[in-house]
Amino acid sequence: MTNPNPSASQSLPGAPQVDRPPSDAAPDVEAEELSAFHEEGLEVKARSQWQLARRRFFRHKLAVGSLIVLMIIVLVGVFAEQIAPYSYREQVPLDARMPPTLEGQHYFGTDVLGRDYFSRTVFGIRTSLYVAGVVALLSTLIGALYGAVSGYFGGWIDNMMMRFVDLVLTLPILAVLIVIAALWGNGTPLRVATILALFYWTTLARIIRGNFLSLREKEYVEAAKASGASDMRIIFRHMLPNSMGPIVVNATLIVATAILVEATLSFLGFGVQPPQPALGKLIDDARGFMQTMPWLVMAPGVTIVVIVLCINFVGDGLRDALDPTQRRLRA
Amino acid sequence: MLIFVVRRVLYSIPVLIITSFLIFWAVSVSGDPLTTVRQIPRVSQTTIDSIIERNHLLEPFIVQYWEWVKSAFTEGFGTTLLADTPIMPDIRRVLGNTLQLIIAAEILSVILAAIIGVVSAVRQYSAFDYTATTFSFLGFATPTFFLALLLQILFTNLYLSTDVRIFYTSGLSSAGADNFFIDRLQHLALPVITLAVLGIAQFSRYVRASMLEVVNSDYVRTAKAKGVKKRNVVMKHALRNALIPFVTAIALDFGGLFGGAIVTETIFGIDGMGRYLVGHLNSRDVYPVMAWLMITSVIVIMFNLIADVIYGYLDPRIRYD
């Protein structure tokens, strides 16, 4: 009897095959690191924090795969002009109501006005990614600064600032965003992104504040203080770099949220306004014809799902790689 | 405990005052509320003047705010700008419909999530666990409105091809229905499923994680070692403790459901809070919008309060003093 699996041949004969957890589970990583240590003896190459993180991330196959898909989508958004066979507003009445076909490069079909939905989706990806990127950037800036000040100074400042965060977190956020976007919005992607960022900095602020409360007591901060470093220098040069992990992870997850929320706003007509194409708006435009031409709803809809799915997987991988303390119990 | 409840209620008061102020501020900096009214040619200057008079629009900001708060208590938020209809009766009607939707969705998602979460945790890394994980990731990534449209397409085509009505795809009731209850159920099913999916995805992960934590704890191992039946270990020892954080999560989720209801009701044509809000946002009628935000905030803050109290009651380790 030959065993095709060499590792299984080491187990006792007749022993039941135990379904082992996948190798990305937490304990295995450490075990592998440890065994590597023993094999190499004392000659262990020093690895920087980032190298370790990269190794942990690349062990996460789903995350790596998602990152590749995501990078392709980002490139599609960036090079929308070169990739889209038509412009997003060009109407060809003769080509109207076409199902998805290779003919004339209408991969996702055309709508009643004869607009090519593949091109519109490609430009929609650009808008969505732009909005999400700006939201991630702005909300990270606000959240990190807010949390840093709150956690660094502590005391009554911290108390006041965190009460305000609590208040924002109690709000029914999607409802408030819809109202604010309807009242303050002017339909440009930048405005939509700014409005979203105004409400999505609170999670990061809480995380950074918690981080800072514990970092404040560390010896290196004490040393920096003793050698006369200013508060600003300690915050920006010593403590924030040590909070990079949660910042990056949170920013990734904000991108996913922002894409979903922007699509919802645009779908309801309070987000990005035409002629600027947005994935949510494309679905809204196609709604009236969804029985006869369901592909017009499916193309932008599935695009949103794929993007968000990939970002969430990448975020998960990053969490495991950069932020071991926040590691969720996961499969 | 009583002192904690009283203190917690008292704490909600400043929160509500600040929320109401922020709502009023956010709306009033967004521009002249009469822009749309002025564009309608048949509205005379006298009408506009009377609207300005009625809503104190020429007074300073703080006076306007005060008058608005007063009208909230004495006149139920007053009337709408355009049609001059009282706001409160309308909101009471739509709130009833929305609460039906939200509560049904919450119950559905809690029950399914608890079952899925517990089974996933007890049979970690099983085929069921992986399937559940995959579906919850899909649930996280699918926008509510897209899911709603998919269900609509699916069930309309099902009806067109088989001529059997399983679920209706729009409205709340059909004329001449024999059985009101069954008819309502057929109408509510799709919106409830739409709303519940995100909850199921979120909560099942939540229950799974907290179950795993409990299953690997010392007292569960002790119970197993004593020879307690597996079923009892899961149901009595583990589940009860795992559900404590879950209770808070449910109560905190109500705010999110109001947001989800906006999208769901718009798509399924339900005469609820969401459609009311979107309708008045489209006509730029700010008074019903502010009333909507205020009432929703009160409900959400109330649920937060209940969550805190239940949490303290369920987990005796939490001491509030």
Which of A331, A318, A251 lies closest to A53, judged by CA? A318
Q: How much of chain B, in percent, has pLDDT values that exceed 70?
A: 98
Which of A124, A258, A148, A266 lies closest to A197, judged by CA? A258
Structural element, H or E, at residue B123 = none
Rounded distance between C-alpha atoms, residue A38 and residue A42, angstroms? 8
| A70 CB within 8 Å of a chain B CB | no
Chain B residues with CB-CB distance to A177 below 8 A: 259
Question: What pLDDT is recorded for position A261?
Answer: 92
Burial of A271 (0-12, 13-18, 19+ CB in 10 A): buried
Structural element, H or E, at residue B283 = none
Interface test with A, best of B22, B124, B145 (most A CBs within 10 A): B145
Half-sphere exposure for B83 (CA within 13 Å, toward CB):
9
Rounded distance between C-alpha atoms, residue A16 and residue A224, angstroms? 57
- Contact at 8 Å (CB) between A266 and A272? yes
Chain A residues with CB-CB distance to B208 below 8 A: 329
Say which of A19, A309, A328 has its CB closest to residue B125.
A19
* CA distances, B258 to each of B76, B93, B152, B164, B265 (Å): 21, 15, 21, 32, 10
- Average pLDDT on B231-253 reads 79
- Contact at 8 Å (CB) between A278 and A271? yes
| ipTM of the complex, rounded to two decimals | 0.88
Name B263's Cβ contacts closer than 8 Å, sequence gap at least 6. A264, A267, A268, B144, B145, B148, B274
Please check the confidence at residue A23 and state whether its pLDDT lies above 60: no
* Rama region for B222: left / alpha / beta (φ>0; ψ in -120 to 50; rest): alpha
Interface test with A, best of B149, B169, B210, B257 (most A CBs within 10 A): B149
Q: How many CB atoms lie within 10 A of CB A267?
A: 27
Rounded distance between C-alpha atoms, residue B169 and residue B148, angstroms? 9
Chain A residues with CB-CB distance to B31 below 8 A: 183
Q: pLDDT tens for residues A213-257? A: 888 888 888 899 899 888 889 888 888 888 888 898 889 989 999
CB burial of B33-58 (b: ≥16 within 10 Å; e: otherwise) equals: bbebbeeeeeeeeeeeeebeeebbee
Please check the confidence at residue A135 and state whether its pLDDT lies above 90: yes
Q: How many residues does chain A have?
A: 331
Q: For tokens 């001529």, what's the residue?
A: B163
Question: What pLDDT is recorded for position A8?
Answer: 36
Please check the confidence at residue A198 and state whether its pLDDT lies above 70: yes
Please check the confidence at residue A15 and state whether its pLDDT lies above 70: no
- Distance in Å, alpha carbon of B70 to nearest chain A alpha carbon: 22
The reply to whether residue B125 touches residue A331, judged by beta carbons under 8 angstroms, is: yes
The reply to whether residue B137 touches residue A305, judged by beta carbons under 8 angstroms, is: no
| A208 CB within 8 Å of a chain B CB | no
Name B59's Cβ contacts closer than 8 Å, sequence gap at least 6. B67
Which of B265, B302, B88 lies closest to A178, judged by CA? B265
| A25 CB within 8 Å of a chain B CB | no
- Average pLDDT on B146-150 reads 91
Q: pLDDT tens for residues B266-319? A: 899 888 898 899 988 888 888 889 899 999 988 888 888 888 888 777 777 665
Q: pLDDT tens for residues A167-185? A: 888 788 888 889 888 888 8
- Distance in Å, alpha carbon of B179 to nearest chain A alpha carbon: 29
The reply to whether residue A183 touches residue B142, judged by beta carbons under 8 angstroms, is: no
Burial of B14 (0-12, 13-18, 19+ CB in 10 A): exposed
Helix segments in chain B, DSSP class H: 2-28, 35-39, 45-54, 61-74, 87-122, 127-141, 144-162, 180-215, 218-226, 230-232, 239-252, 254-268, 273-282, 286-314
C-alpha R_g of chain A: 25
Which of A276, A121, A123, A250 lies closest to A185, judged by CA? A276
- Contact at 8 Å (CB) between A212 and A151? yes
- Distance in Å, alpha carbon of B184 to nearest chain A alpha carbon: 24
- Contact at 8 Å (CB) between A246 and A308? no
Q: How many residues does chain B have?
A: 321
Chain B residues with CB-CB distance to A27 below 8 A: none
Question: What pLDDT is recorded for position A173?
Answer: 86
Average pLDDT score, chain A: 80
Q: For tokens 């949220």, what's the residue?
A: A257
- Average pLDDT on A145-167 reads 90
Chain B residues with CB-CB distance to A121 below 8 A: none
Which residue is closest to B286 within chain A, CA to CA?
A183
Residue A40's pLDDT band, with cuts at 50, 70 and 90, is: low
Q: pLDDT tens for residues A70-80? A: 999 999 988 88
The reply to whether residue B26 touches residue A312, judged by beta carbons under 8 angstroms, is: no
Question: What pLDDT is recorded for position A53?
Answer: 80
The reply to whether residue B26 touches residue A263, judged by beta carbons under 8 angstroms, is: no
Which residue is closest to A288 within chain B, CA to CA?
B149
Which of B154, B109, B105 lies closest to B272, judged by CA? B105
Lowest pLDDT segment from A66-70, B190-194, B314-318:
B314-318
Question: What pLDDT is recorded for position A329?
Answer: 37
- Contact at 8 Å (CB) between B204 and B117? yes
Say which of B125, B140, B209 has its CB closest to residue A328.
B209
The reply to whether residue B153 touches residue A291, judged by beta carbons under 8 angstroms, is: yes
Question: What pLDDT is recorded for position A2?
Answer: 38
Which of B101, B116, B103, B112 lies closest to B187, judged by CA? B101
Query: Phi, psi at residue A36, to the nearest 5°?
Result: -60, -40
Rounded distance between C-alpha atoms, residue B316 and residue A48, angstroms? 45
Question: What pLDDT is recorded for position A44?
Answer: 62
Question: What pLDDT is recorded for position A303?
Answer: 92
**Cis peptide bond N-terminal to A275, omega within 30:** yes
The reply to whether residue B301 touches residue A305, judged by beta carbons under 8 angstroms, is: no
Query: B192 or B244, which is more confident?
Result: B192
The reply to whether residue B281 touches residue A182, judged by beta carbons under 8 angstroms, is: yes
Q: Which pTM does this prediction carry? A: 0.85
Query: A102 or B3, which is more confident?
Result: B3
Question: What pLDDT is recorded for position A35?
Answer: 58
Q: pLDDT tens for residues B19-52? A: 888 888 888 887 777 777 777 777 777 777 777 7
Q: pLDDT tens for residues B42-97? A: 777 777 777 777 777 777 778 888 888 888 888 778 777 777 788 888 888 889 88
Residue B250's pLDDT band, with cuts at 50, 70 and 90, is: confident
β-sheet bridge partners, residue A110: A116
Say which of A19, A178, A290 has its CB closest to residue B149.
A290
CB burial of A5-17 (b: ≥16 within 10 Å; e: otherwise) equals: eeeeeeeeeeeee
Query: B200 or A21, which is more confident?
Result: B200
Query: A154 or B317, which is more confident?
Result: A154
